[in-house]
Chain A
């Protein structure tokens, strides 16, 4: 069952096709014979001007919406970082903003790619807009079993496209203990047949998943998975 939790935006086909229809109208206006179009030009011009404004507005709204999603993703991380500090101070369940439905669960660091992000508890579509999520049932950082983190390919987990086996990662739990992992493998799987089951009693393993391919503009059924195993010798 493909999990479709991303909030679907308005269909992007708004006035794209309408825009195509506008040009012929404008073009008929282009080679005007002087003085001849006095009567018909004003309404035509008015119509085209109106359409141009409409296009501009629709474009701005669409752009704004896309930018808002990006901004939300970045801003939430700042607020989450504060909530994370409070969590480390012992305030379990600290919320990044008062009405938030999310709480920070861990901090993920990827030194080689200069990436660091606060991981949320849970992987609902709404939560993932603010940060990568730790799937329910996952093992706690450094504990035996599988810890599964999922994040957006176009924001928090965009850095995964440069991930290479052998890279070092650090996952810090709410207790402040940093656990070192080493990336062992990357692979591409089908979202509904990942073979990944959070938890269990196996060796401590970290799975970072995001949508694949990275450059795609629309949701896809493939997922990119990076697997990392716990490096013995935990640093604090």
Chain B
């Protein structure tokens, strides 16, 4: 008999807001179980459970199985601008059967996952990068042959699954994943985040599935039907909603460090010189219920204004440039601007979205300064501009705009092109003002390419800032439009976020910036650099460029316009400091850029896929098309009889048993071990394809109850009341007369 269970221990959904530079899910989840035939699973009732145990419903009504234990260790090595994170997870199979474990973990968008390692006893097995289908086949083959094997796959660009097969009874399996990313740098402050919080940031309150409470009030898990990838998440705040996690940071900043701070977790710091330190959690291990964040600043006067790093792979240099331009933030008021707001009032914006958009727009209009010019354009099937051309932001014009915006309703089609043309049209009265277009939409359109072309052709010096509205905007369109328009993409997923997000956007728009940024490499040498085109750099921001260049000598010039003053800085390539991992960061950026291209209508998906595949394989990265797979050379699952049954059990219903939760390494055995917020019971499908299921919180389901019945009912009641009143009067009249 075989069955599989899968638990998501901890999967913080990626924050919609920011960049998750520096983060991986620590406490991932755990997995599937399979007990061999004829072995009676050990079942318990809720009363038998020890503290913090999380129970899974078994096939025997009223009986439950305790979830297995999982320990996580995180090691972050920061070397200059690059952080490499190693997540080690240790799972102990306390059952009498052979099991397969699968866990899911989210990562930041820009993280490059390149290593999968499996430890069996004292042997390490390294994962190989393979084409996704092939990796899967290798895994399945090894699984059926009784070998220990692990597979790391990308489900979404920021969501990965790890499967481990053939874990024997009582065995401990250790799996390591490594990824790297660039640290975030704003206002001379470096920061790195490692997310641990369950659930979306904007809604931290725990939620319980209504259907998931058993008769005894215990949170139990509904079995998920065969052959689905979905599963009900369960967050049980009463039982161990924590995950023991140990975390160490080794920091080598590359410059004398002034301030060093762990925002939420007390850390012990051990300095080795002015540049480097080792940090460990003061508490030893912590429950994984709060993001880890580390920030550090250079000592005053040591703040680097530019940095250049290099990695040479097979004779080819890869560079990472970091430049903080001296954006003058003199007390002068922000330069006058000409701002055009475009608001999407098409039918798809109906309901919550249009309310968010109206509120955002009303806030934005209030932020205009007297010297600015502005206009507001709404579009659905037709385009309507508030004014014929941009007008001065006088109090009366602002009041008119505010009233107009309040009256906007969402209805009709989405004809975006005329609105975009109108917004980008040069009315010839900008008078050297900075032209900014702020585009509020859910991007529910199909003619992306046409719009991109219009943006590229018509925008001239205008900057385009897209504001994504609603829970599921077309983020491909918005981020690409912002990239082409040298602006930024802001996502507002929730009405509560409007004020904070719009305010952040406006602070940015009002601050001075270096524009027309360009990087020039030594005399015409071939170079492939990301991002492309280079964005404007606002006060306090740092420009980060990853490049694969032929040149090894000479100067790379980064230039731009600071207000109307030209600005230029040259960096000698020869003096670049060597840092491992730059080629991978470059490759990761290239893959995400290719994925964007792929969604465009004018590219051939197969062609782009080939490119993605070759980059990912060459740089050993997990991507949509590539997976890491590790296989032990020696079969460990014993004898032929068991192997024979390996093919059969997949079809049979199962009993399974994960035993009791227990402690490791000085962690109290009564400490809650499983920070499980989502569990699922899974049966392998008929083909034995243990496709990993999604165990996310899932997409928010749309509201599908209307008020029509209520209205009908209330309407009937009112009409009846009216008739009764009339009848009463009919009756009075003869008496009165």
Contacts and interface: CB of A to CB of B under 8 A. Distances in A.
A207 B230 contact: yes
A99 B230 contact: no
> Which of A56, A64, A225 has the most chain B CB within a 10 Å cutoff?
A56
A125 B351 contact: yes
Interface string B709-729: 111111111111111011011
Contacts of B209: 189-190, 193, 195
B715 A61 contact: yes
Contact of A126 (B225, B226, B350, B711): B350
Contacts of B235: 193
A76 to B, nearest CB: 12
B710 A217 contact: yes
A211 B472 CA distance: 19
A5 B706 CA distance: 10
Contacts, number: 322
A196 B701 contact: yes
B700 A48 contact: no
Contacts of A66: 707-713, 715
B232 A59 contact: no
Interface in A1-34: 1-9, 12, 14-16, 19, 22, 26, 29-30, 32, 34
A6 B703 contact: yes
Given A5-B703, A66-B715, A196 B352 contact: no
A192 B352 contact: no
Interface stretch (A77-85, A109-117, A146-154): A146-154
Given A99-B413, A122-B348, A126-B410, A220 B705 contact: yes
A124 B470 CA distance: 9
B57 to A, nearest CB: 13
Nearest to A160: B704
Interface stretch (B137-145, B477-485, B687-695): B687-695
Nearest to B412: A99
Interface string B399-414: 0000000000011111
Interface stretch (B200-208, B595-603, B642-650): B200-208
B227 A6 contact: no
B228 A203 contact: yes
Contacts of A185: 225
Contacts of B347: 101-102, 124, 126-127
A86 B271 CA distance: 72
B350 A5 contact: yes
B444 A202 contact: no
A203 B711 contact: no
Contact of B704 (A2, A54, A153, A198): A153
Interface string A44-59: 0100110111111111
A195 B704 contact: no
A162 interface: no
B706 A195 contact: no
Given A3-B471, A205-B228, A133 B702 contact: yes
Contacts of B702: 3, 5, 123-125, 128, 133, 135, 150, 209
A205 B693 CA distance: 12
Given A19-B721, A122-B348, A227-B228, A197 B696 contact: yes
A29 B706 contact: no
Contacts of B547: none
A172 interface: no
Interface string A196-236: 11101111010101110000111110110101010000000
B45 interface: no
B704 A1 contact: no
Centre residue among A126, A129, A145, A184 by max chain B CB count within 10 A? A126
A1 B729 contact: no
What interface size band does chain A fall in? 35 or more
Given A12-B707, A59-B715, A154-B706, A146 B229 contact: yes
B62 interface: no
B235 to A, nearest CB: 8
A176 interface: no
A7 B351 contact: yes
A71 to B, nearest CB: 10
A19 B694 CA distance: 53
B529 to A, nearest CB: 32
Contacts of A197: 229-230, 694, 696, 698-699
B233 interface: yes
Contact of B207 (A157, A193, A205): A193
A200 B698 contact: no
A69 interface: yes
Interface in A132-164: 133, 135-137, 145-146, 148, 150-155, 157
B707 A188 contact: no
A59 to B, nearest CB: 3
Contacts of B230: 146, 195-197, 202, 205, 207, 227
B228 A229 contact: yes
A195 B104 CA distance: 13
Nearest to A71: B708
A195 B710 contact: no
B155 interface: yes
Contact of B699 (A26, A34, A190, A196): A196
A5 B347 CA distance: 11
B736 A41 contact: yes
A193 B235 CA distance: 10
Contacts of A19: 718, 721
A1 B718 contact: no
A209 B230 CA distance: 14
A17 B718 CA distance: 11
A191 to B, nearest CB: 5
B701 A194 contact: yes
Interface string A90-119: 000100000111100000000000000000
Contacts of B291: none
B449 interface: no
Given A3-B702, A63-B712, 6 more contacts: A6-B707, A59-B714, A63-B715, A194-B701, A195-B695, A218-B710
17 contacts: A3-B702, A6-B704, A9-B707, A12-B710, A48-B725, A48-B729, A63-B715, A124-B353, A124-B442, A125-B351, A194-B232, A196-B698, A196-B699, A202-B694, A209-B704, A227-B228, A229-B225
Q: Which 8 A-B pairs have the closest CB atoms?
A: A63-B715, A202-B229, A59-B718, A66-B711, A56-B722, A126-B350, A203-B227, A55-B722
